[in-house]
Amino acid sequence: MANKYTVRIQGKNSDITVAEDQSILDAALRANEWLPHSCTQGTCGTCKLKVQCGEVRHNESPEYTLTTDERAEGLALGCMATPCSDLTVEPIGGAGDDGVPHFPLRDYEGTVTVLEDIAANTRRLVVEVDTPMLFNAGQYVELIVPGHNVGRQYSLANPPTETRNLEFHVKLTTGGLATDGWIFGPMQVGDRISLRGPLGQFNLVKQQDEAAILIGGGTGLAPLKSIVQHALAERLVPELYLYHGGRRQEDLYDVDFFRDLAQEHEHFHYRPALSEEQWDGAMGMVTDVVLDDFSSCKGMSAYLCGPPAMVEAAVKALKRRRMAPRLIFREEFTIAA
Ligand code: FAD
Ligand code: FES
């Protein structure tokens, strides 16, 4: 039996119990005590805590996320650090309510019901979970890789009203444990799998007065598909622009799905863009297409998702068009530490 410790989080009303092999973030989210976090794998730094009292084991994370000096100052990553004693911790970004309703983290079991190739080296995976999962549009789950007891993050592409059939878009990483070694390997329809979720704070759930621009690169489309369906159903934004970037036509997917949505909803605009192949749609890097389409993005918000380089380029482009940095939300598909 793992030892358990009591952890007091400054700014929260009640203490939580954390096992010696459990991260502080995992225990807090299971206790429905919201803490800021993004990647849950030690690569973003969003979950940084100050350990005011007690000892933690830091476990592995890159030096750029938590430097040696920061460790010496008593900082730790909530998603990686496990307790060695009772603790008092203070979230660096504050533990306050972000105004969004959150759902507790839980473990789930489910059955693979769909596994299909939808674009070059890209698969759609649908898992029917045994018990419904409540989540916010834009969040993700961790799929547990069988035989390894490690999780990999995949964004939910289904709208939050669909709580049983969870849809994922997965890009092949050559040599990757979860993709090459499992989802593009032995995984079959009918397989039983384990997952935990929901996770992450990338979402569009509140009513907005101004337009929102969504930009996805590759499978970065997944959380945006959930957000688009939710935003249209709830009439959250006056104008909604979805950009999907790929190199060639074989990289795009769900084109008809989004074209049909654009036909149905006057205020929804879908702009797929290709950087390496001539076609009758938008041409160029997706961020350059956005720059061409808007002379000013003042007052608008943006939701960016995909490889870190694409997300960085999009942030720069939007700032050039005078979008306020606080209105730019991002989810980066970083690889595990
Ligand atoms: P890994 O085994 O993790 O390997 C990744 C790459 O790193 C490989 O090229 C491997 O050779 C290399 N590598 C591994 N270890 C080392 C090392 N020690 N040193 C150097 N190189 C190394 N992806 C999607 O396709 N769809 C999604 O919806 C999605 N959502 C995500 C959401 C979040 C919040 C995050 C953080 C990531 C998301 N990802 C998503 C990425 C996904 O979680 C995985 O990182 C990706 O699928 C690769 O996993 P893997 O196990 O196949 O590869
Ligand atoms: Fe902990 Fe990203 S959530 S480093």
Q: For residue 215, what are its two tokens?
A: 């930009």
Within this chain, do residues 159 and 240 fall inside the same structural domain, yes or no? no
| Residue 99 included in any domain | no
CB of 225 shorter than 6 A to ligand 1: no
On whether the CB atoms of residues 125 and 183 are closer than 8 A, the answer is yes
DSSP run (H or E) holding 58: none
| Residue 45 included in any domain | yes
Most ligand 2 atoms within 8 A of CB, residue of 24, 44, 199 to mutate:
44
CATH of residue 19: 3.10.20.30
Closest ligand 2 atom to residue 80 Cα is 1
Q: Among 177, 199, 221, where does a domain finish?
A: 199
Domain span including residue 218: 212-332
Within this chain, do residues 78 and 128 fall inside the same structural domain, yes or no? no
Within this chain, do residues 70 and 137 fall inside the same structural domain, yes or no? no
Q: What is the pTM of this model?
A: 0.96
Distance between CA atoms of residues 21 and 43, nearest Å: 19
Alpha helix stretches (DSSP H) within 55-213: 68-72
Q: Among 91, 121, 145, where does a domain finish?
A: 91
| Residue 96 included in any domain | no
CB of 155 shorter than 6 A to ligand 1: yes
Within this chain, do residues 244 and 272 fall inside the same structural domain, yes or no? yes
CATH of residue 144: 2.40.30.10
* Counted domains in the chain: 3
Distance between CA atoms of residues 327 and 50, nearest Å: 27
Distance between CA atoms of residues 99 and 25, nearest Å: 19
Within this chain, do residues 225 and 321 fall inside the same structural domain, yes or no? yes
| Residue 207 included in any domain | no
Q: Whose CA is nearest to atom 12 of ligand 1?
A: 176
337 residues of the chain, pLDDT tens digit each: 789 999 999 988 889 999 999 999 999 999 999 999 999 999 999 999 999 999 999 999 999 999 999 999 999 999 999 999 999 999 997 766 677 889 999 999 999 999 999 999 999 999 999 999 999 999 999 999 999 989 999 999 999 999 999 999 999 999 999 999 999 999 999 999 999 999 999 999 888 999 999 999 999 999 999 999 999 999 999 999 999 999 999 999 999 999 999 999 999 999 999 999 999 999 999 999 999 999 999 999 999 999 999 999 999 999 999 999 999 999 999 987 6
| Residue 204 included in any domain | no
CA 36 to chain centre: 13
| Residue 100 included in any domain | no
| Residue 70 included in any domain | yes
